[in-house]
């Protein structure tokens, strides 16, 4: 029982008893999103803007990342912001634009849900729920997405230990939804040279403890556009099952996270580099043709 | 704009513009809970068990802490737990027991609300909403309690900077509720000798930046019963407006946080020590007689 | 055995075996510096500038802090600086000025030693060796001061756990010098509102584990002049045996740490406040008259 | 000027003025150790035991890592240990054994120096000085190795920011020795699942700021043997110029760091994997034949 927990003398946790725990070396969950299999040998790339801002921004970005090889489109309709005065997302209009982008590109979409009351609405407009870092310990929300049968991309809290991260996943699994993808996105440390400290150690550690797929967000993990490609490659070498990367058709005009969003051409170059790197660590990029067919 | 925020070029934050910001040296909000004024010269003591466990536990503890001088009763009906298999609180039954204890002792109560959908129900059974550390950045929940006119005790997130803590309060104030009490309860650091690292530096820093009252939770802040009294005194010397302390009539049998809960006699001794200490730093313990009269 | 240690299967550490460990509740070391007893009921106040800059700066500051009640004079002759281009101290000239100030005011002095090769020279010009935070794990230096019979003020490293801090003290004790004073001076955390995060939890924790005196440095611990007095009081309420405070006769002109140095009048006011506070927590300020007589 | 520094009003640091700073994109220092060029396109692998324990341990391990492709032998003769009661190294005997191993295998050696007084002795028995994490801010020691003309492998302090790390290197460069190799070896965070948190973000960040070579120590960075290979590969993908890896001929019997030391066969397998990985990120393993010829 971790330090956050109260102590109940008569309940004893048996190691390996968690639903999230790996039962054997080969025990591995594959989360299948319309034929895109996350957690297998093939690497899955999620890309798109931080926030859905307007139709042309989303569609232009979506078409480009799709053309360059992304499998799934990301884009925030509801944005958790430190300040109530910051842009909070287009909300329902953003969800509709995501559906439009999906229709245009054929890519499934992932978007964040921040409120248990919005799970039904968001769920009918996304292929994967994202639970953001700030909400990793929002147990009501975890339970609510756990009661759906839609995949959940769960981001590690900024100060969550590996143990707490797995317990958060357990809340979802415990409600019956085993389609959980874990996402390392940087922890908070004393270092201020980067926005967060992307913790790639978490990848082998999580892969050893759980059967759930593990992906990495080098955009939030570093906060610097010029670091994203390098850390993306390091994440794949460390064993990640995929990446979620912020790309914007015009990063300099982005309403949100422009400094860490790749230009489309940078994303293209990264995809080419990953295609070379993947086989060197026994992986390959998911074959996009198989999705659309 | 802090590192968590996206950048919107055309919105410029003017320092001092926040609703939470202090406008002058004398600017100080007093949160009045049935005549108990939090934020003034008098110190307010909140005490009670981590979780409401059953009728006799709550009533026995409540009577004792009231007798020894506590002004407000704490007790969790909904408990956020790292593991879904841990005791999650008595929920509605817990709320009813809190009302019973209030009736018996005359003390107002504070209890945690974890879900925006429970704000109405919890609100009709508590005098102060508590927002726990894990939910400090649950903006939907902050907004929901912001739309009520009931005081809110907002705990600092385990990895929240002072700046982020004040932005979280801003979400509540922005909805029109200015009855916010800030609570320092320990941050997460590399040190493992204590459950959290109670950060008393936050008290003078917050008092210099905001007009909101600031209290301290030395129970969660240390995790060790034997440290609670010492750190409670240090918190008062550092300028805290009050304390929230875990007390259990039988800590060894507690379902939750027994190791950090005071025995009633320890709480009595602490109240005596605080009564001596307060005048030495220009404060006094709130006069309990004035409440009940 | 802590995480920094290698593992030697056949050596088992027995708790309580450390020389630094408390053997009983009443086991308490008193470090006596010319009649000033550190570790007893009386609080000892060390004050003075960050660095010795010149004769008038040191003598003016020394006379003022002495007049206002300080017992021991601090001042750096050798300054560890992050950059080799920063002021590195007056070195030998600084040591001579400290001796002059001692002669003028009657106060014993404490100054930092950074290099094992300077232990003899510094030792012949100081009453207490200071080991700075950066050198807490410089074991050669710890051993060297351990081989003298002069008191050592050992500062906690910025990332040192309580356990590692006590092991560092053990290096000194193990060489035969048991005159060690521990000093909490702030740890490094994610919080950037203060220069360091003064960790007052360390005081009760250390007092429970070791018989060595524990003092606090609120100047480095906060980095802000206006926070020093508040945190000094909190430190005393938390059980510290004394304080080490930066005071400069003209902080705005200081070559070093001006932002955290008290004006002499602020130090005077703090001493008055401490004189009121101390009895409220069962302590008193060391009677200065007894020193000079 | 960083937070550790005092403030001297009339000295202004001009960005890019540091000797350690990169002057242009192509500015890159190559540290040449007997024909082994560290900092160029070729990757350099340093391997060997944590501590030199005895003749057969060192020679057996050295022969095996040499056979499997290591370029430089590591081995500690002086060991900084948290406890004075732990094994402190064979000292001079250890240095002699390193020279013997060098003679037998042809590999240059790197070993730690902990004390400025030992720089001459250690220097006459090593090809590269190692400055350990605990001594990164031991400026006397940095200056002393800066006055030699021998390469220095400088490890990042456990709580050192990137900025402070570069300032530590500056102390060496400032004395005239520009043969400095920086080594990321894990920082201290709240996470306890690993011994330290290997911070691979430091690699691209350092490579962008300085012309000095950057290598990675995945052994101390993780503390778990089974994570070393994975993180070694991630380090290379992140742009490291080399690795320093603990290997022991019998890790289960190691006096030091056995849990993080590779079995020789694991090291062999890692070298094979790195040989495949390196070209995928535009690098290659240094050709060993060119050294010995």
What is the tens place of the pLDDT at every residue in C199-214?
999 999 999 999 999 9
C150: tokens are: 């002069």
Average pLDDT score over residue span B223-234 = 98
Measure B165 CA to nearest chain D CA, in Å. 20
Does the beta-carbon distance from B204 to C231 stay under 8 Å?
yes
Q: Give the model's confidence band at D16: pLDDT under 50 very low, under 70 low, under 90 confident, else very high.
A: very low
Q: If DSSP states are collapsed to H, E and C, what string results for chain B? A: CCCCCCCCCCCCCCCCCCCCECCCCCCCCCEEECCEEECCCEEEEEEECCECCCHHHHHHHHHHHHHCCCCEEECECCCCCCCCCCCCCCCHHHHHHHHHHHHHHCCCEEEECCCHHHHHHHHCCCCEEEECHHHCCCHHHHHHHHCCCCCEEEECCCCCCHHHHHHHHHHHHHCCCCCEEEEECCECCCCCCCCCECCCCHHHHHHHHECCCEEECHHHHHCCHHHHHHHHHHHHHCCCCEEEEEECCCHHHCCCCHHHCECHHHHHHHHHHHHHHHHHCCCEECCCHHHHC
| Subunits close to C (at least 3 CB pairs below 8 A) | A, B, D
Strand, helix or coil for residue D42: strand
CATH number belonging to the domain at B42-79+86-292, selected among 3.30.1360.30, 3.30.70.920, 3.20.20.70, 3.40.1390.20: 3.20.20.70
Q: Which residues of D touch B189 (CB under 8 A)?
A: 190
Question: Nearest 5°: phi and psi at C156?
Answer: -70, 135
The answer to whether the CB atoms of B234 and C235 lie below 8 A apart is yes
Nearest to A201 among D159, D208, D227 (CB): D227
Q: Cα D183 from chain centroid?
A: 5
Q: Do the chains contact at A192 and C192, CB–CB below 8 Å?
A: yes
Residue with tokens 């051993």: C143
Q: Tell me which residue in A82, A86, A167 faces B82 most closely, judged by beta carbons.
A: A167
Mean pLDDT of all residues in chain A?
Answer: 93
Check: CB of residue B252 under 8 Å from CB of residue B292: no
Q: What are phi and psi of B34, to 5 degrees?
A: 50, 45
In angstroms, what separates the C-alpha of D72 from chain B's closest C-alpha? 34
Question: Cβ contacts of residue D226 below 8 Å, gap of 6+?
Answer: A204, A208
Q: Contacts of residue C189 in chain A, CB cutoff 8 Å?
A: 190
Average confidence (pLDDT) over C45-64: 98
Contact B188 D192 (CB under 8 A): no
What are the chain D neighbours of B190 within 8 Å (beta carbons)? Answer: 188-190
The answer to whether the CB atoms of C117 and D139 lie below 8 A apart is: no
Q: Which of A2, A8, A258 is the closest to B82 by Cβ? A: A2
- Kindly list the residues from chain B whose CB atom is less than 8 angstroms away from the CB atom of residue D188: 190
- Which of C161, C191, C238 faces B161 most closely, judged by CB atoms? C191
Q: What is the fold of C33-79+88-292?
A: TIM Barrel (3.20.20)
- Reported as a pLDDT band with limits 50, 70 and 90, residue C17 is low
Beta strand spans in D25-173 (E): 31-33, 36-38, 42-48, 72-74, 109-112, 128-131, 152-155
ipTM attached to this prediction: 0.93
Of the residues C17, C83, C194, the best mutation for testing chain D's interface (the one with the most D CB atoms within 10 Å of its CB) is: C83
Within 8 A of A134 by CB-CB distance, chain B residues are 137-139
Q: D17 near D200, Cβ under 8 Å?
A: no
As beta bridge partners, residue B33 has B36
> Is A3 a residue whose pLDDT tops 70?
no
CA B101 to chain A, closest CA, distance in angstroms equals: 23
Interface residues of D toward B, Cβ cutoff 8 Å, are 188-190, 192
The full set of domain ranges for chain B reads: 42-79+86-292
Q: Give the pLDDT of residue A288.
A: 83
Helix (H, G, I), strand (E, B) or coil at C119: helix
Q: Using CB atoms, which chains have 3+ pairs under 8 A with D?
A: A, B, C
- A5 and B82 within 8 Å at the Cβ level: the answer is yes
Q: In this structure, what token pair is assigned to residue A85?
A: 């005065």
Q: How far apart are CA C258 and CA C247, in angstroms?
A: 9
**Residues of chain A contacting residue B261, judged by C-beta atoms under 8 Å apart:** none
Return the pLDDT at D290.
57
Contacts across the B-D interface (CB distance below 8 Å):
6
D7 pLDDT above the threshold of 70: no
For residues D217 and D231, the answer to whether their CB atoms sit within 8 Å is no
> What distance in Å separates residue C126's CA from the closest CA in chain D?
20
For residues B137-164, average pLDDT: 97
CA atoms D17, D22, D27, D33: torsion sign: positive
CB atoms < 10 A from the CB of B104, how many? 14
For residue B6, what pLDDT band results from cuts at 50, 70 and 90? very low
Report CA Rg, chain D. 18
CATH of A42-77+90-292, one of 3.40.50.2000, 3.20.20.70, 3.40.50.970, 3.40.50.1820: 3.20.20.70
Task: Judge residue D38's burial from the number of C-beta atoms within 10 Å of its C-beta, 0-12 exposed, 13-18 middle, 19 or more buried.
Answer: buried
Closest CA to D19 of D240, D211, D214, D241: D211
Q: HEC profile for chain A? A: CCCCCCCCCCCCCCCCCCCCECCCCCCCCCEEECCEEECCCEEEEEEECCECCCHHHHHHHHHHHHHCCCCEEECECCCCCCCCCCCCCCCHHHHHHHHHHHHHHCCCEEEECCCHHHHHHHHCCCCEEEECHHHCCCHHHHHHHHCCCCCEEEECCCCCCHHHHHHHHHHHHHCCCCCEEEEECCECCCCCCCCCECCCCHHHHHHHHECCCEEECHHHHHCCHHHHHHHHHHHHHCCCCEEEEEECCCHHHCCCCHHHCECHHHHHHHHHHHHHHHHHCCCEECCCHHHHC
Q: How far is CA B182 from CA A82, A279, C256, D233, in A?
A: 17, 53, 35, 46
Question: What does residue D31 show for φ and ψ, rounded to 5 degrees?
Answer: -95, 120
Distance, CA of C86 to CA of C83 (rounded, Å): 6
Give the span between the Cα atoms of B26 and D274, in whole angstroms: 65
Residues on chain B touching A8 (C-beta within 8 angstroms) = 86-87, 255-256
Cα gap D198→A200, rounded to integer Å: 8
Please enumerate in sequence order all residues whose Cβ is within 8 A of that of B125, keeping only pairs 6 or more positions apart, or say none: B77, B95, B96, B98, B99, B109, B111
pLDDT in tens, A91-105: 999 999 999 999 999
Nearest CA in chain B to D158: B190
For residue C165, the distance in angstroms to the closest alpha carbon of chain D comes to: 9
Rounded CA separation D224/D232 (Å): 12
Tokens of B171: 């979400």
Binary contact (A81, B7; C-beta < 8 A): no
CATH topology for D37-292 is TIM Barrel (3.20.20)
β partners of residue C51: C76
- Residues from chain C that touch D167, judged by Cβ atoms under 8 A, are 82-84
D36-91 residue pLDDT tens: 999 999 999 999 999 999 999 999 999 999 999 999 999 999 999 999 999 999 99
Q: Distance, in angstroms, between B194 CA and closest chain D CA?
A: 12
Query: Which residues are paired to A73 by β-bridges?
Result: A47, A109
- Put simply, the answer to whether C81 touches D4 (Cβ < 8 Å) is yes
Residue B49 has pLDDT above 70, yes or no: yes
Q: Are A136 and B158 in contact (CB under 8 A)?
A: no
Name the nearest CA neighbour of D156 among D176, D131, D178. D131
Mean model confidence pLDDT for chain B: 93
C60 membership: H or E segment, kind and range: helix C55-67
Nearest to D201 among A197, A238, A276 (CB): A197
Separation between Cα atoms, residue A207 and residue A241, nearest integer Å: 10
SS3 C288: coil
pLDDT of the residue at A17: 67
Residue B290 binned pLDDT confidence (cut-offs 50, 70, 90): low
* Inter-residue contact D115 to D144 (CB < 8 Å): no
For residue D259, the chain C residues in CB contact (below 8 A) are 7
What gap in Å lies between CA B285 and CA B283, rounded to an integer?
7
The yes-or-no verdict on residue A277 having pLDDT over 60 is: yes
Residues of B within 8 A of A79 (CB-CB) are 6
Q: How confident is residue C43, by pLDDT bands cut at 50, 70 and 90?
A: very high
Contact C192 A188 (CB under 8 A): no
Q: How far apart are CA A241 and CA A217, in angstroms?
A: 11
CA torsion angle A247 A251 A257 A260 (round to 10) = 60
D159·C164 Cβ contact <8 A: no
**Which has the closest alpha carbon to D286: D102, D72, D105?**
D72
For residue C277, the distance in angstroms to the closest alpha carbon of chain B comes to: 5
What is the C-alpha separation between C21 and D146, in angstroms, rounded?
39
Instruction: Tell me the pTM.
Output: 0.94
Interface test with B, best of C234, C235, C274 (most B CBs within 10 A): C234
Nearest to B137 among A2, A80, A115 (CB): A80
Neighbouring CB atoms inside 10 A of A276's CB total 14
Q: What residues of chain C lie within 8 A of the CB of A188, using their CB? A: 190
- Residue D60, min C-alpha distance to chain C (Å): 20
Chain A residues near any Cβ of chain D (below 8 Å): 159, 161-163, 187, 189-194, 197-201, 203-205, 208, 221-222, 226-227, 230-231, 233-239, 273, 276-277, 279-281
Give the C-alpha separation, B178 to B151, whole Å. 8
The whole-angstrom distance between residue D65's C-alpha and the CA centroid of its chain comes to 16
Quick one: tokens of D155? 């490890």
Q: Do A134 and B134 touch (CB under 8 A)?
A: no
């Amino acid at each position: 029982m971790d330090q956050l927990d109260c102590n109940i003398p008569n309940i004893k946790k048996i190691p390996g008893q968690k639903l999230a725990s790996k039962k054997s070396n080969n025990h591995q969950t594959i989360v299948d999103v319309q034929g895109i299999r996350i957690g297998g040998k093939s690497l899955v790339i999620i890309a798109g803007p931080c926030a859905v801002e307007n139709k042309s921004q989303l569609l232009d970005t979506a078409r480009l990342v799709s053309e360059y090889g992304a499998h799934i489109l990301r884009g925030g309709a509801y944005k958790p912001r430190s300040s109530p005065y910051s842009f909070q997302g287009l909300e329902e209009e953003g969800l509709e634009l995501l559906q439009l982008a999906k229709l245009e590109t054929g890519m499934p979409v992932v978007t964040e849900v921040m409120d248990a009351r919005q799970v039904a609405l968001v769920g009918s407009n996304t292929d994967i729920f994202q639970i953001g870092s700030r909400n990793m310990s929002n147990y009501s929300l975890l339970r609510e997405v756990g009661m759906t049968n839609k995949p959940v991309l769960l981001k590690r809290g900024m100060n969550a230990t590996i143990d707490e991260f797995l317990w958060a996943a357990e809340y979802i699994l415990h409600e019956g939804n085993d389609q959980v993808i874990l996402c390392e996105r940087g922890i908070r440390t004393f270092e201020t040279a980067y926005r967060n400290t992307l913790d790639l150690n978490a990848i082998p550690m999580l892969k050893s403890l759980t059967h759930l797929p593990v992906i990495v967000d080098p955009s939030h993990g570093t906060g610097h556009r010029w670091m994203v490609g390098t850390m993306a490659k390091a994440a794949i070498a460390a064993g990640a099952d995929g990446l979620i990367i912020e790309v914007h058709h015009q990063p300099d005009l982005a309403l949100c996270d422009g400094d860490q969003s790749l230009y489309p051409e940078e994303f293209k170059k990264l995809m080419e580099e990953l295609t070379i790197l993947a086989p060197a660590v026994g992986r390959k990029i998911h074959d996009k043709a198989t999705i659309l067919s």
